[in-house]
Amino acid sequence: MCGIVGYVGERKVEEVLIDGLKRLEYRGYDSCGLALASSEMEIYRKRAKGRIENLASAVSKNPPGLRNSGIAHTRWATHGEPNEDNAHPHSDCSGEIVVVHNGIIENFSQLKEELIAKEHVFSSQTDTEVIAHLIEEKLKEVSKSFGIKHNVLEPVFFEAFRRAVNLLKGSFALGAIWAKTPDMILSARMQSPLVIGAGENENFLSSDVSAFLKYTKKVYFVEDGEIVVLRRGGANFFDLKGKKKAKEISTINWDLSMAEKGGYRHFMLKEIHEQADSVENTMAGRLLPLEENKVFEEIGLKAELAAKISEVQIIACGTAFHAGLAGRYVFEKLGIKTSADLASEFENRAALLDKNTLVIAVSQSGETADTIHAVKMAKRNGNNVLAITNTLGSSITRESDYTFYTHCGPEIGVASTKAFLGQLTAFYMLALNLSKSKGLLKHENLSKYSQELLRLPSLIKDTLGLENKIEKLTEAFSSKEHYLFIARDISYPVALEGALKIKEISYVHAEGYAAGEMKHGPIAIIEQGMPVIAIATSSSQLDLIRGNMEEARARGAELIAVVDEESRKNVKAKHYLEVPLINELFSAAISVIPLQLFAYYIALQRKCDIDKPRNLAKSVTVR
Ligand code: AGP
């Protein structure tokens, strides 16, 4: 996944672009670059390996002077290793056409062969460079039929760009400029996120709104198959045939402070602390009054269709999958048969789904390629798909029949935290709505559960009070290389999530296991002093988890137990992390918080790059 930014307007173009890239660095950060056009009709291009800072210093060493427009890119490599030659923007043979791209051009090898046969010379291993040469080739074609006169340069470039885009197969969000048309940026979208920021006599393009939010909150969400012409005076939208399209403008309600660290050392810690508010936002206006199925009403799921839903099939990746697995337990405890599968392992199941199975796809970014692919398979099978996502206008919303936004605000840290709680909260509300509409839940129970849910934000705040204790506790564990997380039933997904958090930001080995599995193998790995973290909050399985904890302790494990005031009396551990008591159905949203904080402080002690862990990107837009 990569980030692209474009700007046309009166500000210092390179400053706007570099500032925008810094807000997109979480999308990928192994190399970056920018290209600027000027009324002298020449292109200024700078690229750098590594972080945006490297690019900024290259630009300041050789400042570009006055420029009209520009495009920029931060990369997470998919084709070609991360180096300057493979960094975007890429240019054609003349150096006058430059392109930035997020996505994968699936037919780039065939296009590259054809272009090489026409004597195009390539300087990188990327799929993106093909686009620049393709536009160059189309420019020759179009110029022959239109002629190149000063007053037709922009339409000629548009037509060449349009023809080139029509030949691309795969996913792309593009920005392109031509030296001869410095006041215009062309852009196009297919399956990769692209938004246009509409300013006063200036306009922006980006992979997401945080790159230009400080300048404007007015945005256009670009749809698949749309071409955008960006000038100072405005943005125009066209379909792939070149037919002009009307477009609705939206207003983003995030302010920039939400997208910046807000005084925390890392985005991840900020986002952990935002969870009380973000869960409140997820529930706002959707839980009460109970009599109306506010959630189904909002997403447009008709009551008669809801009543016909025979079972639920959840698909997702990573942390979103752990939320989906927790959702499965909630649905089943409320009487609804439910499966949860990794989206990347869904291939064989899609065609076997009963037509009345509701498929729920979970994705914070809404751009995870595996999840979107699984959604398409479910759609092909004739199933209704509901997307749970945090990203307005994301690709998954276009592929699904219904969308439930978690409204958590931007989640910048690669390690997902508040989005996880938002996904859990979404499942809680969906399960209550569905169970009620299928007549499986008495009104008094619905009311009891809803009142309990409304307590979540304050219980989250209370749980965050463990932070100092956890920070201190991690000092004794920061050198550990192996962790085991164990839990049962509705807490089992929390064990998986706790292990993933430590793995992805501290780079140490950690496994989450169903505690009932210990005797079937995992107990063999326990050595003296090995940290075993048990989620042992009040539940129908407390006696069983207590036994598993004893087995681990007897073999030398150093036990850390997540407990509540009730269960603490019934389990023995070396360290206790006591969280507020909440109904078992919703306990995952509380018991995960100490594990998020534990992972954060272990990573801090180990001096890891918490917001941008090695080898990871915020959203995996390739399969
Ligand atoms: C979680 O901390 C990771 N960043 C990763 O597992 C993530 O949850 C997964 O890639 C799914 O992303 P999505 O929710 O944007 O689809």
Q: Which atom of ligand 1 lies at the shortest distance from residue 365's CA?
A: 15
Banded model confidence at residue 287, pLDDT cuts 50, 70, 90: confident
Kindly state the average pLDDT of the residues 511-523: 96
How many angstroms separate the alpha carbon of residue 547 from the centre of ligand 1? 33
For 296-305, the pLDDT digits (tens) are 988 999 888 8
Mutate to test the pocket of ligand 1, among 416, 504, 596 (most ligand atoms within 8 A of CB): 416
Q: Can you give the pLDDT at residue 257? A: 66
Q: Which atom of ligand 1 lies at the shortest distance from residue 416's CA?
A: 2
Mutate to test the pocket of ligand 1, among 315, 494, 612, 619 (most ligand atoms within 8 A of CB): 619
CA distance 614 to 592: 23
**What angle do the packed helices 456-464 and 588-605 form, to 10 degrees?**
30
- The active-site residue out of 138, 436, 503, 618 is 618
Kindly state the average pLDDT of the residues 96-109: 92
Q: Which atom of ligand 1 lies at the shortest distance from residue 415's CA?
A: 2
Q: Can you give the pLDDT at residue 149? A: 67
Q: Can you give the pLDDT at residue 383? A: 97
- Per-residue burial over 100-118, b = 16 or more CB atoms within 10 Å of its CB, e = otherwise: bbbbbbeebeebbeebeee
Q: Contact 538/427 with Cβ under 8 angstroms? A: no
For 183-237, the pLDDT digits (tens) are 999 999 998 889 999 999 999 999 988 899 999 999 999 999 999 999 999 999 9
Tokens of residue 486, six digits:
């164990």
How many angstroms separate the alpha carbon of residue 319 from the centre of ligand 1? 5
Strand order in the sheet with 250-251: 43-49, 31-37, 69-75, 3-8, 203-206, 195-198, 218-221, 250-251
Kindly state the average pLDDT of the residues 74-100: 88
Q: Can you give the pLDDT at residue 69? A: 97
Active site residue 93: no
Quick one: DSSP state of residue 219?
E
What is the residue-averaged pLDDT of the chain? 93
For 469-507, the pLDDT digits (tens) are 999 999 999 999 999 999 999 999 999 999 999 999 999
All domains of the chain in start order, with CATH:
3-252 (3.60.20.10), 264-441 (3.40.50.10490), 464-618 (3.40.50.10490)
Q: Can you give the pLDDT at residue 237? A: 98
Residue 25 has pLDDT above 90, yes or no: no
Residue 556 has pLDDT above 70, yes or no: yes
Residue 258 has pLDDT above 80, yes or no: no
Q: Can you give the pLDDT at residue 423? A: 98
**Least-confidence region, from 58-62, 146-150, 611-615:** 146-150
Amino acid identity, residue 345? E
How many angstroms separate the alpha carbon of residue 349 from the centre of ligand 1? 22
pTM, two decimals, is: 0.74
Active site residue 261: no
Atom 9, ligand 1: which residue's CA is nearest?
Answer: 318
Q: Contact 139/97 with Cβ under 8 angstroms? A: yes
Residues ≥6 apart with Cβ < 8 Å to 236: 228, 229, 244
How many angstroms separate the alpha carbon of residue 524 from the centre of ligand 1? 31
